[in-house]
Structure 1
Amino acid sequence: MQITRSTVATVKGPADWFTGDVYIDAVAAAPAPSRVSASLVHFMPGARTHWHRHPLSQTVFVTEGVGLCQRRGGPVEVIRPGDRVLFEADEEHWHGAAPDRLMVHVAINEGDDDHAVVQWLAPVTDEEYAGAPAVS
């Protein structure tokens, strides 16, 4: 067993990955040979990732708030606490908070043989984001 005391500060998500205010806390980064990492990601209302893809898939587990997600070519879906979303390997997608709600999720990723975890793409446009169903 190993206990790691948190010494890593919460970081603001960079503007070339996110639209809006997003804050990230590292949860897990197991030593080699493991390639799994996890982060707790806090999306303020209206904040979202850019389009992106993962070479070995991504799972997000919603812990609070109300969020939105979409895979390229699919409808915008509403996600809530307890929902698990699996984005398949290389599936272009985005996820974030609803317009008037915050959303927090745990993002679980696995790096490929070259340790690549994510490839960031273009921002989600306001028109794409506005395609979300009404959230109550």
Structure 2
Amino acid sequence: MLYNYLISNCGAHLKNYSLAWTGSNSVRFVPAYDLVSTAVYDGRRGAKLSRSMGLRVGEHLNIDKVNADDFDLLAKELRQPAWQAADERARLRHELPDALRRAAEQAVCSGFGEEADALADRILFGAKVRMKAFG
């Protein structure tokens, strides 16, 4: 959910998450799919997309109102230790910019054109704004 928030994916719903049973009778998340930065398209070519996230984060559904307290509340609701939630926020804050750059480079090399760089820039700009909400 944190990743979807950072990339401005307001279209992330429960159907985008799957669980798998392991051999030890436990459950784990499998890689998510349909990870789309919907907010970067808002207003482009007249499009008006919803700013409501597919899932509530803490007290808020609107992506522009979500803050660090909401993620702390979400971690508590999911019974995730506060230190673990903070570590994950720090990890994504550190790793996301380089990961977006690498993905854009791979997209350009795969024939998607230079617009992949511009799209990565828009996603990263939004991610930096959202990272500030974490303090």
Calculate the TM-score normalised by the size of structure 2.
Answer: 0.26
Larger Rg: 2
Q: Which has the higher strand share?
A: 1
Calculate the TM-score normalised by the size of structure 1.
Answer: 0.26
- Higher RCO (CA < 8 A, seq sep 6+): 1
Q: Which has the higher helix share?
A: 2
